[in-house]
């Protein structure tokens, strides 16, 4: 793509046995968002400043430092997730089952997945 702030690949999937499924995937010039209903968002409508802020948030939450796999067993109510991003010279492939990456900011522990999803919501004005 010609715009340096738009990723080459972007896909995030989250499936919870009790709470349903969310997914986001970059398709040509649109983001296909299922939350839970499908919606196409034209990436050309997203302002450059929002993309820049999004990538700053990705850095802040340490997304590029994720391990390839996070696994834990559970008896019921399990969840799975996966993230694939290629942006500039960086590539991320990470997935998990019943375990998610955490980050400490200040004196609090946050879910990297929740922080990423909040950043995506801000990027695309998802309410």
As a whole number of angstroms, the distance between CA 45 and CA 4 comes to 15
The number of angstroms, rounded, from the C-alpha of 39 to the middle of its chain's C-alpha atoms is 16
Q: Which residue has the tokens 């948030």?
A: 57
Query: pLDDT for 36-74, tens place per residue?
Result: 788 999 998 899 999 999 999 999 999 999 999 998 876
| The predicted structure's pLDDT at residue 77 | 66
pTM: 0.87
What is the separation of C-alpha 91 from the centre of its chain, rounded to a whole number of angstroms?
13
Banded pLDDT at 18 (limits 50, 70, 90): confident
> Which residues, listed in sequence order, are joined to residue 93 by a DSSP beta bridge?
84
**pLDDT tens column, 71-107:** 887 666 688 999 999 999 999 999 999 888 999 888 9
For the chain, list the domains and their CATH numbers: 9-124 (3.30.1560)
Cβ-Cβ contacts under 8 Å for 55 (sequence gap 6 or more): 5, 87
């Amino acid at each position: 793509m010609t715009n340096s702030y738009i990723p080459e690949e972007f896909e995030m999937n989250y499936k919870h046995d009790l709470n349903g499924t969310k997914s986001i995937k970059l398709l040509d010039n649109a983001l296909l968002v299922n939350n839970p209903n499908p919606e196409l968002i034209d990436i050309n409508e997203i302002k450059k400043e929002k993309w820049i802020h999004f990538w700053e948030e990705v850095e802040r939450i340490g997304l590029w430092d994720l391990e390839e796999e996070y696994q834990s067993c559970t008896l019921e109510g399990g969840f799975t997730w996966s993230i694939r991003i290629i942006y500039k010279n960086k590539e991320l492939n990470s997935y998990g089952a019943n375990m998610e990456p955490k980050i400490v900011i200040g004196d609090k522990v946050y879910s990297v997945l929740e922080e990423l999803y909040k950043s995506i919501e801000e990027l695309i004005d998802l309410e």
